[in-house]
Amino acid sequence: MEDQNANGKLNKGALLRKIKPYLAILSLQFGYSGMYIITMVSFKHGMSHWILSVYRHVVAAIIITPFALVLERKTRPKMTLPIFLRIVALGFLEPVLDQNLYNMGMKMTSTTFASATVNVLPAITFIMALTFRLESVNWRKFHSVAKVIGTVVTVSGAMVMTLYKGPAYQIIKGGGAINHHASATTDQPSEQNWLMGTVMLISSCCSWAGFFILQVSITN
């Protein structure tokens, strides 16, 4: 009986270790969704995207610094000039370029469109990794073919969302709803802003992809 209980605990522990990464990814997606909504609400109330980025990183530094000092005090490598310059480059790519371009693009488009555009990030990262010879494609292996197909699908989806603009969908129909919709459209981004916002969102994804690639070279 005790052996069965021990085996059951081991099986549960092994199962928990397997699903932990997936739970972390799901939690991250919920966190991103909340972040997009809070960011857009802040912009609607007049907050500057520059100020918002500063606030985000100040709060993040205050929360994360104690964990780094306590948990990684003995494992951190010595700070050298090459490592310092790479850290500066990482800070420029992700917090400065990526987040500010993303916030400006979100202000010119919409929260839903901006969050959907991030789906092209794996494709851009894969293309940049191929360019820097960090990835290779072997057409005889399934995972390599899957990466290429995924890249084509995500880029195609981003192009469709960028170039195609369908009719407005109204849940409530009627004279009052039409007037409300007409007044709401005046607050929507113009075609020029929408295109510029899309360019900024794609540029932010490129900066984020460069951050991932440089981070791999530092951590390895």
Judged against a pLDDT cut of 60, whether residue 204 lies above it is answered with yes
pLDDT band at 156 (very low <50, low <70, confident <90, very high): confident
> How far is Cα 98 from Cα 208, in angstroms, rounded to an integer?
6
Higher pLDDT: 142 or 204? It is 204
Structure tokens at 206: 């490129």
Tokens of 46: 């007049």
Question: 14-28, 134-148, 177-191: which has the minimum mean pLDDT?
Answer: 177-191
**pLDDT higher at 199 or 112:** 199
pLDDT tens across 54-99, in order?
A: 888 899 889 988 888 888 777 777 888 888 898 899 889 988 899 8
Residue 1 DSSP class: -
pLDDT value of residue 161: 65
pLDDT digits (tens, 9 = 90+) for 69-79: 888 777 777 88
CA distance 90 to 138: 30
pTM of the complete model:
0.68
Given CA atoms 172, 173, 176, 180 in this order, what sign does their dihedral have?
A: positive
- The residues, any chain, with a CB within 8 Å of residue 116's CB and separated by 6 or more, are 161
The answer to whether the beta carbons of residues 120 and 105 sit under 8 Å apart is no
Q: What is the largest CA-CA distance in the chain?
A: 71
